[in-house]
Amino acid sequence: MAGVILVLNAGSSSIKFETFELREGELTSQASGQVDGIGTDRPHLRAKSADGAVLADEALTAEQASSVDAAQDVLGAFFRRHETVDLLAVGHRVVHGGLRFARPIRVDEAAIEAMAELTPLAPLHQPHSLAPMRSILRRRPDLPQVACFDTAFHRGHGDIADRFALPEWLYADGVRRYGFHGLSYAYIASRLPALSPRLANGKTVVAHLGSGCSMCALDGCRSVDSTMGFTALDGLPMGTRPGQLDAGVVLYLIREKGMAADAVERLLYHECGLKGLSGVSNDVRALTESDDPRARLALDYFCTRAAMAVAELAAFMGGLDGLVFTAGIGEHSAFVRAGVARRLAWLGAELAADANERGDGLVSSPDSRIEIRVIPTDEELMIARHTVDLLGLR
Q: Is 273 in the site for ligand AMP (CB under 6 A)?
A: no
Query: Which lies closer to ligand AMP via its Cβ, residue 298 or residue 390?
Result: 298
Using the contact rule CB under 6 A, the part of the chain among 126-134, 300-308, 321-329, 359-367 near ligand AMP is 321-329
Q: Is 210 in the site for ligand AMP (CB under 6 A)?
A: yes
Q: Alpha helix (H) ranges present in the chain? A: 68-81, 109-116, 126-139, 159-162, 168-172, 182-195, 197-201, 247-255, 261-270, 273-278, 284-289, 293-317, 327-332, 334-342, 353-358, 379-391
Residues 111, 327, 341, 347: which binds ligand AMP (CB under 6 A)?
327
Residues 84, 214, 240, 333: which binds ligand AMP (CB under 6 A)?
333
CB of 8 within 8 A of CB of 92?
Answer: yes
The 155-194 site mask, x for binding ligand AMP (CB under 6 A), equals ----------------------------------------
The 235-254 site mask, x for binding ligand AMP (CB under 6 A), equals ----x---------------
Residue nearest to ligand AMP (CB): 328
Do you know the residue count of the chain?
A: 394
Selection from 190, 124, 178, 162 nearest residue 326 by Cα:
190
Q: Distance (Å, rounded) from C-alpha 182 to C-alpha 278?
A: 29
Q: Is 108 in the site for ligand AMP (CB under 6 A)?
A: no
Q: Distance (Å, rounded) from C-alpha 195 to C-alpha 265?
A: 40
Give the torsion through C-alpha atoms of 122, 127, 132, 138, to 10 deg.
Answer: 130
Q: What is the CA radius of gyration of the chain?
A: 21
Using the contact rule CB under 6 A, the part of the chain among 112-120, 263-271, 281-289, 312-320 near ligand AMP is 281-289
Q: Is 211 in the site for ligand AMP (CB under 6 A)?
A: yes
Q: Distance (Å, rounded) from C-alpha 147 to C-alpha 167?
A: 32
Selection from 288, 294, 305 nearest residue 340 by Cα:
305
Neighbours of 330 (CB within 10 A): 26
Q: Is 98 in the site for ligand AMP (CB under 6 A)?
A: no
Q: Is 203 in the site for ligand AMP (CB under 6 A)?
A: no
Q: Which residues face 14 on adjacent strands? A: 36
Using the contact rule CB under 6 A, the part of the chain among 42-50, 146-154, 187-195, 329-337 near ligand AMP is 329-337
CB of 235 within 8 A of CB of 213?
Answer: yes
Tell me the closest approach of the beta carbon of residue 268 to ligand AMP, in angstroms: 18
Tell me the closest approach of the beta carbon of residue 223 to ligand AMP, in angstroms: 19
Instruction: Report the SS3 class of residue 142.
Output: coil
CB of 322 within 8 A of CB of 197?
Answer: no
Using the contact rule CB under 6 A, the part of the chain among 60-68, 105-113, 280-288, 352-360 near ligand AMP is 280-288
Tell me the closest approach of the beta carbon of residue 330 to ligand AMP, in angstroms: 8
Tell me the closest approach of the beta carbon of residue 210 to ligand AMP, in angstroms: 3
The β-bridge relationship of strands 3-10 and 14-23 is antiparallel
Say whether 150 is catalytic.
yes
Catalytic residue among 150, 225, 234, 321: 150
Using the contact rule CB under 6 A, the part of the chain among 73-81, 100-108, 132-140, 283-291 near ligand AMP is 283-291
Q: Is 329 in the site for ligand AMP (CB under 6 A)?
A: yes
Residues forming contacts to ligand AMP in the complex (CB under 6 A) are 210-211, 239, 283-285, 327-329, 332-333
Q: Give the residue numbers annotated as catalytic, written as ranges.
A: 150
